[in-house]
Amino acid sequence: LLSGRETVGSSNMEDDVSLKFRQQLLLIDENLVAEDVAALKFLCTDLLPFKKLESVKSAVDIFQLLMAEEYLNEEDTFLVAELLYRIKCHSLLKKLGYTKEKVQECLHEKGRVSPYRQMLYELSENITSEMLKDIIFLLQNCLPKRRITLSALELLILLEKQGLLTENNVQVLEEICMNVSPDLLETVNCYKRAKVCNIPSFNVPWNDYKHTGEECLCLSRRTLCQSRSLHCLTLETSEYSLPHRYTGIHTANLGFSGLGSAFFLSFLQKMTSYKMDGPHRGFCLVINNVNFDRSLQERKGSCKDAGELERVFTWLGLDVRTYTDLTSWEIKDLMRTWQHLQDHKDRDCFICCILSHGESGAIYGKDEELVSIRMIMSHFTAKQCPQLAEKPKLFFIQACQGKEIQCPVYVEADARIPDLSSMQQCVSPSESIPEEADFLLGMATIDGYVSFRHIQQGAWYIQALCSKLRLLVPRGEDILSILTEVNEDVGRRVDRLGTKKQMPQPAYTLRRKFIFPIPRDPPPS
């Protein structure tokens, strides 16, 4: 009888685990849009039969197929974690008990998405709608005669079905990239160079380690060779092959030290600069939310910040537009308006500054509804805003990214006063930033922490940013060097009691140095 009870109990536990597992998958499915499902479908192309994938309508359909093929079960959910990681849905990893860092650690041993599939996905993410039209025109003799609308991923699948594109033959991609956008060619070349390294298992986080210029870093035991397009360095304790387009990830995060770090820094110094000599510099939006509808405090001192930003960026040649006290809906609508502006075509860059209260990965509208920073920035990807394709897009956010702490009277925190029991999921700046190139996100503070604003002198971060731009732009410094100085400036500041500190954090996918042309006029005082 006892044995029977144990069997029943064990069965119930298994049912509970299975139910929880399926609930997790359902929650993930509910948080994915059609574009995400298409990406998952593409990344699973090497794992599941084409015919079965063609009938997929949702992420749940994909999960069912993966379970049927025994790639996925309640005891091993890593493949789903890897897929979410690949498509940059990092906030959903927590539903499976993973973090971005944990997935990165396990990729080398457990990763299933091939370097070839990663490369194709990376390529598709950087193909704009205009580029896609050109590619389809070039390939019209290879495509079905009937008129169909293809996405970049669908086009790549079609080329694979016709045998024009394989893991060992990417010549068609090289020819397309050469004709449409040589910048795209570097993604393909880096994949080829990685294959030359002959590393049997290549599961480096491709989205994090993108490549630009002529270098590909290949680190292996007792190897030291150097050629025009391939550099191999000796690190006795490391065996990695890293295709690398610099995206603001510190050398320490890559495990570089000594010779490797020195080489990496010299590699960065060879980066070219963005073109900044057009007839118009660009637009700069300043959204300044001071007053809120319900429980959020008035952001005293913020108008000083907005005025300072307007003066400095006007001096730098930008056409500045300031908006005050916008609701969440108005912020979204404003982004859509600027997303479709044709005038971007003749501009060198785009800058957006947002001053408000905030939480992890989001800012508050005047109506006290949250707006995702990632959603705001996604309006200006190459696909959504072709006029800004391959041009630098800079976003500066002055807002808290965590719960409020008690502050002295002259220093306020840009966060909600409330209920400390509600905990926000942490979202790092690198998760807020779109996965494609040419973005920079300057955050006033690291995730989970408050940022400070003097009620008369303005926010520490914005005042330091404006000060360093005035000082260092005339010296020809690039934006990343300037933001490093901003970090140093803000890091030294404390409140009047000496107990509150702050550290800003930039994240970026810039492919080149961003250097403001030196203005003819002296900096504003």
- What SS3 state is found at 60? helix
**Residues 325, 382, 248, 227, Cα dihedral to 10°:** -170
What is the Cα–Cα distance from 379 to 334, expressed in whole angstroms? 10
DSSP for residue 222: T
Q: Which two tokens stand for residue 503?
A: 């550290």
Please say if 357 is a catalytic residue: yes
DSSP 387: G
DSSP string, 414-435: SS--S-TTSPPPP--HHHHS-S
Give the gyration radius of the chain's Cα atoms: 25
**Which residue in the block uniquely carries the two structure tokens 């960065």?**
268
CA atoms within 13 A on the CB side of 441: 28
Q: How far is CA 342 from CA 337, 351, 439, 488, in A?
A: 10, 16, 19, 38
Residues 6+ apart with CB under 8 A from 336: 379
* Beta-sheet pairing, 393-398 with 347-355: parallel
Given the residues 357, 379, 385, 466, select the one marked as catalytic. 357
Q: What is the dihedral of CA 281, 267, 229, 515, to 10 degrees?
A: 10
The span from the CA of 198 to the CA of 225, in Å, is 15
Cβ–Cβ < 8 Å for 155, 132: yes
- Give the active site residue among 44, 400, 454, 466: 400
With CA atoms as reference, report the closest residue to 45 among 166, 202, 196, 170: 166
d(C-alpha 126, C-alpha 113), whole Å: 19
Confirm if 350 and 356 have CB atoms less than 8 A apart: no
400 given a catalytic annotation? yes
151 closest CA partner among 119, 188, 190, 120: 120
Spatial distance between the Cα atoms of 428 and 415, rounded to a whole number of angstroms: 17
Give the chain's length: 525
- The encoded tokens of residue 8 equal 């029943």
SS percent in the chain: helix, strand, coil, step 5 = 45, 15, 45
**Catalytic residue numbers?**
357, 400
